[in-house]
Amino acid sequence: MKSEKQNQGWIILGGIALLLLGFFVYQNSNTKQHDWKMDFETESKEPYGTFVIKEIVEKSVATDSFITLDKKIAKSLPDNPTTNSSFVFIGEALLLDSSDVEQLLAFVDNGNTAFISSLTIPDLLMDEVFLPPCDTLYWEDYTVYYDTAVITNFVHSDLQATNAFSFPYVKDQVIYNTYWQQLPPHIFCTEENYPVVISQSPDSSIVDMALFPYGKGAFYLQTSPIAFTNLYQTKKHGQAYTEKIISHLQTETIYWDAFSNVPAAIGRNKNWASHDPLTPKDGPLDYILSQPPLAWAWYLLLSLGLLYLLFRAKRRQRMIPVLAPNQNTSLAFIATIGRLHFTGKNHRRIALQQMDLLENFIRSKYRLSTQDKTAQFIKNLSHTSEIEETLIAKMFLIQKNIKSSTFTTDKTLIELHKLTDYFYKNCR
């Protein structure tokens, strides 16, 4: 009887454990793991995609008045549309070449609007759009600041909200600090209201949206595309912000650029690499890396080379013995020859050789002829070498006496050596 009760208890505990396990599996199977990468892709329904804002903008215009551009701007954007139109880009970076810039400028110059929300803006475009209000200023891309959120509000009283709009950087439901972009403060250096500030932080220190007039139209540059992501467009304050943004657009026809978005790092690198960032480079690697099969072959070759260095570059021959360094025996030879002459009592030959070396030294260092040892020669040598005339005259007098005699004493040789040694060590 007791055994049966124990078995029933174990069965009940096992059933409870199975129920808990099932509940845990059910909960985890229904918990979607979001991708928190901030890429602003149009078709992405992840938190930082822009699928919702595209739907909102599309529904804000009449049927067939929303056109998605899936090719280069130069090939898809009309430069002379028949209606008041707007070009809209929301993404990390807008990659343009010279033909795209020319087409976009013609579109705006005709009286249309371009709204660009990105983390960086092509220098090729701003060279034409930005007119430096101060003599020493030029366009240097957006500047950055470090914070947890973009906090902004519209300047115009009709659009200004009671509470500023806040768009924090969230990842896995946690708010983090990150780098944000702003329009460079130094471009607002005059009181002529250029560029026109559209929205800024409550303390007016950070401008995140401004209007740049161009021809008959205008460019709206906005530096916080996070505001248009799915994460905030599904919330009331994000939708309210979007409504006020749309009020700046000409909504007869909207051209939505879904083609030009690239990562911010690529955009900064390409847009500032040259005046025409999409023009192919002449280098062989540029072409190889632009073709996926060739790029894979190149990377495979590099990998094989690295493996060879790791496993096959070890020593495969016997060690080469270390050789003793060569020694300069010239001084030893000279000392040996000197001792030979000295022990042989040939002092006259040693003295004459010593004077020959001195004369050669004078000719090479001071460019003086030693053929005639006149008073003028001694004076010139004394002047250039800064050695006393009496010492030089005595030195050459000893040489003359040695040449005219057949025998030279130890005392004469030693005295001559002291004079020449003094000359070598003290001449200028």
* Strand positions, DSSP E, 112-164: 113-117, 143-147, 149-154
> How do strand 165-171 and strand 143-147 relate by DSSP bridges?
unpaired
Q: With a cut of 50, say whether residue 113 has pLDDT above it.
A: yes
Structure tokens given for 341: 């002459």
Q: Is residue 306 part of a domain?
A: no
DSSP per-residue letters across 63-88: TT-EEEE-S-HHHHS-SS-SS-EEEE
Looking at the fold, whether 126 and 219 belong to one and the same domain comes out as: yes
Domain count, the chain: 2
What integer pLDDT is reported at residue 370 of this predicted model? 83
What integer pLDDT is reported at residue 24 of this predicted model? 56
- List residues bridging with 56 in a β-sheet: none
Q: Is residue 261 part of a domain?
A: yes
To the nearest whole number, what is the mean pLDDT of the chain?
83
How do residues 62-92 score in pLDDT, each as one tens digit?
Answer: 888 899 999 999 999 987 776 689 999 999 9
Report residue 104's pLDDT band, with 50, 70 and 90 as the boundaries. Answer: very high
- List residues bridging with 146 in a β-sheet: 179
What integer pLDDT is reported at residue 31 of this predicted model? 47
What integer pLDDT is reported at residue 133 of this predicted model? 73
What integer pLDDT is reported at residue 240 of this predicted model? 94
- Residue 318, classed as helix, strand or coil, is coil
How do residues 212-236 score in pLDDT, each as one tens digit?
Answer: 999 999 999 999 999 999 999 999 9
> How do strand 93-94 and strand 217-222 relate by DSSP bridges?
unpaired
What integer pLDDT is reported at residue 208 of this predicted model? 96
Looking at the fold, whether 219 and 89 belong to one and the same domain comes out as: yes
Contact 299/307 with Cβ under 8 angstroms? no
| List of residues 6+ apart from 241 with CB closer than 8 A | 165, 227, 232
Instruction: Quote the crossing angle between the two packed helices 330-343 and 347-366, to the nearest 10°.
Output: 140
Highest mean pLDDT among 152-156, 193-197, 384-388: 152-156
Looking at the fold, whether 269 and 133 belong to one and the same domain comes out as: yes
> How do strand 143-147 and strand 178-182 relate by DSSP bridges?
antiparallel
| List of residues 6+ apart from 115 with CB closer than 8 A | 86, 87, 88, 89, 220, 222, 245, 248, 249
CA–CA dist 25, 357 (Å, integer): 102
Once rounded to an integer, what is the mean pLDDT over residues 378-386? 88
What integer pLDDT is reported at residue 48 of this predicted model? 92
Q: Is residue 44 part of a domain?
A: no
Looking at the fold, whether 265 and 171 belong to one and the same domain comes out as: yes
Looking at the fold, whether 246 and 342 belong to one and the same domain comes out as: no
What integer pLDDT is reported at residue 342 of this predicted model? 60
Cis upstream peptide for 277 (omega within 30°): no
Weakest mean pLDDT among 46-50, 79-83, 204-208: 79-83
Give me the amino acid identity at 314. Answer: K
What integer pLDDT is reported at residue 21 of this predicted model? 62
Least Cα distance to 231 among 166, 178, 147 occurs for 166
Q: Is residue 328 part of a domain?
A: no
Q: Is residue 312 part of a domain?
A: no
How do residues 412-425 score in pLDDT, each as one tens digit?
Answer: 878 888 888 888 88
Q: Is residue 131 part of a domain?
A: yes
Looking at the fold, whether 286 and 377 belong to one and the same domain comes out as: no
Structure tokens given for 201: 């932080």
Looking at the fold, whether 156 and 247 belong to one and the same domain comes out as: yes
Looking at the fold, whether 274 and 135 belong to one and the same domain comes out as: yes
Contact 227/61 with Cβ under 8 angstroms? no
Report residue 279's pLDDT band, with 50, 70 and 90 as the boundaries. Answer: very low
Least Cα distance to 200 among 189, 190, 210 occurs for 210
Range(s) of the domain holding residue 143: 51-294
| List of residues 6+ apart from 359 with CB closer than 8 A | 370
What integer pLDDT is reported at residue 13 of this predicted model? 62
What integer pLDDT is reported at residue 275 of this predicted model? 47
What integer pLDDT is reported at residue 25 of this predicted model? 53
Once rounded to an integer, what is the mean pLDDT over residues 179-199? 87
Of 243, 278, 294, the residue that ends a domain is 294
Looking at the fold, whether 233 and 349 belong to one and the same domain comes out as: no
Looking at the fold, whether 285 and 369 belong to one and the same domain comes out as: no
Q: Is residue 12 part of a domain?
A: no
CA–CA dist 6, 387 (Å, integer): 121
Of 294, 311, 344, the residue that ends a domain is 294
Q: With a cut of 60, say whether residue 28 has pLDDT above it.
A: no
Weakest mean pLDDT among 50-64, 184-198, 264-278: 264-278
> Buried (b) or exposed (e) across 279-293, using 16+ Cβ within 10 A?
eeeeeeeeeeeeeee
How do residues 397-417 score in pLDDT, each as one tens digit?
Answer: 888 888 888 777 878 878 888
Burial of residue 112 (CB within 10 Å: 0-12, 13-18, 19+) is buried
What integer pLDDT is reported at residue 136 of this predicted model? 59
Report residue 191's pLDDT band, with 50, 70 and 90 as the boundaries. Answer: low
Tokens 């008959």 appear where?
216
Of 294, 323, 348, the residue that ends a domain is 294
Alpha helical stretches, state H, 85-163: 98-109, 123-129
Looking at the fold, whether 57 and 167 belong to one and the same domain comes out as: yes
Q: Is residue 346 part of a domain?
A: yes
User: Among residues of the chain, what percentage have pLDDT more than 90?
Assistant: 37
Looking at the fold, whether 186 and 84 belong to one and the same domain comes out as: yes
User: pTM for the complete prediction?
Assistant: 0.58
How do residues 303-359 score in pLDDT, each as one tens digit?
Answer: 888 888 877 766 666 777 888 777 766 556 656 666 666 666 677 887 888 888 888
Residue 135 Cα distances to 6, 52, 124, 294, angstroms: 93, 43, 20, 48
